[in-house]
Amino acid sequence: MTPQICPSLLSADFARLADEVARVPSADWLHVDVMDYHFVPNLTLGLPVVESLVAATDIPLDCHLMIDDPDRWAPSYAEAGAGSVTFHAEAAKAPLRLARTLRDAGARAGLALNPGTSVEPYADLFIDFDMLLIMTVEPGFGGQPFLTEVLPKLRRAREIADARGLDIWLQVDGGVSATTIEQCADAGADVFVAGSAVFGAEDPDRMIQRLRTTAAQASST
Ligand code: DX5
Ligand code: ZN
Give the CATH number for residue 73: 3.20.20.70
Q: What is the pLDDT of residue 221?
A: 75
Q: Which helix (H) or strand (E) holds 109?
A: strand 108-113
Of 174, 197, 177, 194, nearest to 40 (Cα)? 174
Residues 6+ apart with CB under 8 A from 220: none
**List of residues 6+ apart from 16 with CB closer than 8 A:** none
173 is catalytic: yes
Q: If you measure from the C-alpha of residue 66 to the centroid of ligand 1, how many angstroms do you get, rounded to a whole number?
A: 11
What pLDDT does residue 132 have? 98
Q: How far is the CA of 194 from the centre of ligand 2 (A)?
A: 9
Tens-digit pLDDT string for the chain (221 aa): 899 999 999 999 999 999 999 999 999 999 999 999 999 999 999 999 999 999 999 999 999 999 999 999 999 999 999 999 999 999 999 999 999 999 999 999 999 999 999 999 999 999 999 999 999 999 999 999 999 999 999 999 999 999 999 999 999 999 999 999 999 999 999 999 999 999 999 999 999 999 999 999 999 87
CB distance 31 to ligand 1 below 6 Å = yes
Per-residue model confidence (pLDDT) at position 143: 98
* Total domains in the fold of the chain: 1
Instruction: Please tell me the number of Cα atoms within 13 Å of 169 on its side-chain side.
Output: 22
Whether 193 is in the pocket of ligand 1, judged by its Cβ within 6 Å, is: yes
Buried-state track 151-190, b at ≥16 Cβ within 10 A, e below 16: bebbbbbbebbeeeeeebbbbbbbbbbeebbbbbbbbbbb
Nearest atom in ligand 1 to the alpha carbon of residue 136 is: 14
Distance 164 CA to ligand 2 centre (A): 27
Q: By residue range, what is the domain housing residue 201?
A: 4-219
Residue 134: Cβ within 10 Å count: 27
Q: Which residues of 9-35 are buried (b: 16+ CB within 10 A; e: fewer)?
A: bbbbeeeebeebbebbebbbbbbbbbb
> What pLDDT does residue 1 have?
85
Name the DSSP letter for residue 43: B
Kindly identify the ligand whose nearest atom is closest to the C-alpha of 114. 1
Q: List the residue whose alpha carbon is closest to atom 4 of ligand 1.
A: 142
Of 28, 62, 130, 173, the active-site residue reads 173
**Cβ-based burial of 1 (10 A; exposed 0-12, middle 13-18, buried ≥19):** exposed
Residue from 47, 122, 56 nearest 85 by CA:
47
33 is catalytic: yes
